[in-house]
Structure 1
Amino acid sequence: MGEKVDVVIREAVPKDAEGILAHLSSTALETGYMTMGEEGPGITVEEEQEQLAKLYESDNNVLLVALIDGKIVGTASIHGSSSPKLKHIGEVGIVIAKEYWGFGLGTTMMEELIYWANEQSKLKRLELTVQARNKKARHLYEKLGFQLEAIMPRGVRDNGEYLDVCLMSMMIGEIDETSRT
């Protein structure tokens, strides 16, 4: 484990749009773990601002940002569908700048997402995909209660190589909240 850093974690607001897009663009090039590459997010600052504003109207979507000295160094999100038959499922995504790996930031952000999901009443299932080779991320998700559901052969292609992807899930309302730190 690395040294401690002072970090602020809060819900994203429209004025964070530029910082979020810059964070996603830079982290997309740090590892081969993201589905995005050098093409970047493919969205304008104005479009991101509109999306962030809509998050507050939704009961199954949230985007958290982690800031160190005012700079966004991490994002964690739950994206839920607007379809009535799928509205109870939230897709989890998390992106931490490589420079801040090993500080426990991923754990803290995931715990905050799980807490948020348990506090609001719409979501009953969280799910995520992670490359099978990303052992640290898989360990984190398992530690927090996610279960492996499937391994999808050739789930992603990176630098011409097909890689396996794991589908993991957690049922909301079935975890022990006393374990939250």
Structure 2
Amino acid sequence: MVVNEIWFDMKDGRKALIRSPREEDIPGMLDYLFLSAGETEFILRYPEECSKYTYEGEKALFERLNASQEDAMLVCIVDGRVAGSCQISFHQRLKTKHRASVAITLLREVWNQGIGTRMFLEMIRIAEQFGGILQMELEFVEGNDRARHLYEKMGFRIAGVRPNAIRLKNGTLLNEYIMIREMKSE
């Protein structure tokens, strides 16, 4: 699903662009995946796991997502580089097609600049436009209070927990929380 460009002013006054990914974004996306994986323990990959991401793989992913009617990916470009991304996927089975799963990641340097809110507003708009969606769903890792605050601000609430779902390199086990945002009834 291709999404139109959205320009906006970040809280620090810089311009940011949210749009569907393009082939020209691939080198920046590969850097972004590696950087974001090393900035926090709340990303579900470590930097060394990013070596599996390739130009060809990202190109195929972008093409698939942009051609899809059930999935959309957005990138946020700040100062000419990828600073964030989010994805929304609509469930396709008859029993679950009222649900959409979402995920978001931002580089630390753009935290608290309004990007997360803008990206969530766009994912909510996409879900409303898609039609038939009664709830949006996401997961976050225990201790990620910044993300939890954003999700609650966007109308999500905790619906469950997966105990010890995340195991860090040092052996620490963290819970993973499931959140849902109920959408307006049709």
Which range, TM-score by smaller chain?
0.7 to 0.9
Deviations 1:39-87 (A, max 9, x none): 1162321121112112233222111111112211010111334545444
Which amino acid in 1 is paired with 2:157? Q
Q: How much is the aligned-residue C-alpha RMSD, in angstroms?
A: 2.2
SS in 2 for 1:56: helix
87-96 or 22-31, which moves further after superposition? Answer: 87-96
Preserved CA contact (<8 Å) 1:155 1:162: yes
1:32 equivalenced with 2:41 (yes/no): yes
SS in 2 for 1:169: strand
The alpha carbon displacement at 1:174 in A equals: 4.6
Separation in 2 of the partners of 1:34 and 1:57?
A: 27
Aligned residues: 175
Q: Of Structure 1 and Structure 2, which has the larger fraction of its residues in helix? A: 2
Distance 1:54 1:123, change over 3 A: farther
Which residue of 2 is the match for residue 178 of structure 1?
Answer: none
1:99 equivalenced with 2:109 (yes/no): yes
Map 1:21-170 to 2 at 5 A. Answer: 21-38=30-47, 39-40=49-50, 42-121=52-131, 123-159=133-169, 160-170=171-181
Which amino acid in 1 is paired with 2:166? V
TM-score normalised per structure 1: 0.86
Separation in 2 of the partners of 1:42 and 1:82?
A: 28
Deviations 1:136-171 (A, max 9, x none): 111111111112101221011123100011100123
Separation in 2 of the partners of 1:84 and 1:13?
A: 32
Which amino acid in 2 is paired with 1:152? R
92-101 or 121-130, which moves further after superposition? Answer: 121-130
Separation in 2 of the partners of 1:86 and 1:42?
A: 31
SS in 2 for 1:7: strand
TM-score normalised per structure 2: 0.84
Q: Can you give the 5+ residue segments of structure 1 that lack an aligned partner in the other structure?
A: 176-181
The alpha carbon displacement at 1:2 in A equals: 6.0
Which residue of 2 is the match for residue 179 of structure 1?
Answer: none
Separation in 2 of the partners of 1:170 and 1:148?
A: 9
